[in-house]
Amino acid sequence: MQTTNKAEQRILDTHSKVFNMTRHDLSLYYNRHCRLKLKSGKEVFGVIWEHDSDEDKLYFASHGDHKAYRQTIALQQPARNHRWAQVVNADDIIAAESLQ
C-alpha cells in the first residue's frame, strides 16, 4: 500500500478546493520536472527553482530550458540573460506533482 505525504495529498484534493502551496511545500519540487496547477486553472509542465543569488524569487522554465540553464551554470558562464525563465509567484501555484 502506497502512502501519500501532505504535498501529494494536495494534488489529490485539488478538485475539491483551491488553496495556495507554501514555499516550503514547493521546495520539495525544486529542480525537478513537474506539473504545476495554477489558480487560473491552467496546468504547466516544467521546472521551478530558487536562484542561488536571489532566494526571494522563484523561477520557472521548461524542462529543456532548465537543463540548458544548469549547463550554463556548470560551465561557469554568466547566466544573466534568463530569457528562458519566468519569475513566478508562489501564491499562484495551488498544486504540484513530480514527473520524475
pLDDT of res. 17: 46
* Residues 81, 31: Cα–Cα separation, whole Å: 19
Compute the average pLDDT of residues 59-83. Answer: 76
Phi/psi class of residue 44: alpha, beta or left (left: φ > 0; alpha: ψ in -120 to 50)? beta
Contacts of 90 (CB under 8 A, 6+ apart): 20, 21, 22, 23, 26, 58
Average pLDDT over residues 74-79: 66
Is the whole-model pTM more than 0.75?
Answer: no
What are the grid coordinates assigned to 34, written together? Answer: 513537474
| C-beta of residue 48 within 8 angstroms of C-beta of residue 26 | yes
Q: β-strands 33-38, 43-51: how paired?
A: antiparallel
pLDDT tens track for 10-66 = 554 444 345 678 888 899 999 999 999 999 999 999 999 887 777 778 999 998 888
Burial track 5-36 (b if 16+ CB lie within 10 A, e otherwise)? eebbebbeeeeeeeebbeeebbbebeebbbeb
Q: How many residues does the chain have?
A: 100
Residue 66: the pLDDT is 86
CATH of domain 6-98: 2.30.30.100
